[in-house]
Structures are given as C-alpha cells and as structure tokens.
Amino acid sequence: MMITIEQIKQLREETGLSIMQCQKALEEAGGDKTKAIAILKEKGAEIASKKGDRTLGAGAVAAYIHSGDTVGVLLELLCETDFVGKNPEFKATAKEIAMHIAAMKPENVAELLEQPFIKDTSKTIADIINGTVQKFGERTEIGQFIRYSIN
C-alpha cells in the first residue's frame, strides 16, 4: 500500500513527531492511522527506556495558576540539554502537566505518571513524557512539583 503525503502530514500534526517516524509507522501499520499511533506510542516507551541512564542537566520550571487564583502549581520538567529545555514545545508540555496537576491533585510523581491526561484521557502522563522523549530525543522526567490550594 502506498502511503500518501497527506496521511503522513495528518499523523505528524496529531503526534508532533518527525516525518520519517510518521512515515515508518504508517508503513508498518499498512496505512492504518490508529495502528500507526499505537506503534509510535510503543516506540516512544522503548526510546525512553534506552535513554534512562543519561544525565538530566537541564529543564524547565512551569507555573500554573488556575482561574480564581485559589490553586497554583510549580513543576520541574527535566531534560538533558538547555537546547531542549528552552524549546517552546518542551515548555508548553511542562505547562500542560502543571495544569493537569492543578486539576487532578496527584500526591506524588508515581501517582501523576499513572493518571490519564486531563486533556486526552487515552494517554497517561507517562505517555506524554515518553512522547516528549521521542520528539526531542532526550531523556525527560518530572523532577518535582508542588500544588498549593486555598481550599
């Protein structure tokens, strides 16, 4: 089966991954987008496990204050280099996770990683982290977070 540029473009827009990764996944899945996404998710976990011993020397701190100013979160998302830590997409991921923490109130990082992501419950926070590793090619972990609440 011939994979079209449009299929690759659509998968790339949905996942944010490289054209080559999207093309290979679509080819492996015989053009089935759902299967291709599952393949990319699996590869993301594999890539993350292979990078597990790399040093986390950089990252971003994200702050999220919920409307009404009664809940706030500070989150440390760690990576290997400043190049990735300063990337707007990396920072946006940190902000999304901070927003999730404000809403879902995890007690610790282990609990957070298991939670379904509030904006897309088909993915866990661990899946979001693995996708970030796959996208940027660097080990990525949540360092620490704190959630403040008036209530």
Chain segment 99-142, per-residue pLDDT in tens: 999 999 999 999 999 999 999 999 999 999 999 988 898 989 99
Give me the sign of the Cα torsion angle 63, 84, 78, 34. Answer: positive
Find the CATH number of the domain harbouring 46. Answer: 1.10.8.10
**Shared domain check, 12 and 45:** yes
**Shared domain check, 81 and 45:** no
**Shared domain check, 98 and 65:** yes
pLDDT digits (tens, 9 = 90+) for 52-93: 677 788 999 999 999 899 999 999 999 999 999 999 999 999
CA pair distance 108, 144, nearest whole angstrom: 8
**Shared domain check, 42 and 84:** no
**Shared domain check, 122 and 63:** yes
**Shared domain check, 133 and 62:** yes
pTM of the shown model: 0.73
| Distances from the Cα of 141 to the Cα of 55, 87, 119, 149, angstroms | 11, 15, 20, 24
**Shared domain check, 102 and 34:** no
Q: How many domains does the structure of the chain reveal?
A: 2
Beta bridge partners of 79: 58
- Read off the DSSP letter of residue 67: T
**Shared domain check, 107 and 90:** yes
Kindly state the helix (H) or strand (E) to which residue 60 belongs, with its residue range.
strand 58-65
Contacts of 125 by beta carbon, 8 Å cutoff, 6+ apart? 97, 100, 112, 113, 114, 115, 117, 142
Beta bridge partners of 117: 120
Find the CATH number of the domain harbouring 111. Answer: 3.30.479.20
Range of the domain at 70: 58-149
Tokens of 108: 């610790």
**Shared domain check, 115 and 91:** yes
pLDDT digits (tens, 9 = 90+) for 130-150: 999 888 989 899 999 999 999
**Shared domain check, 101 and 31:** no
Contact indicator for 109, 145 with CB cutoff of 8 Å: yes
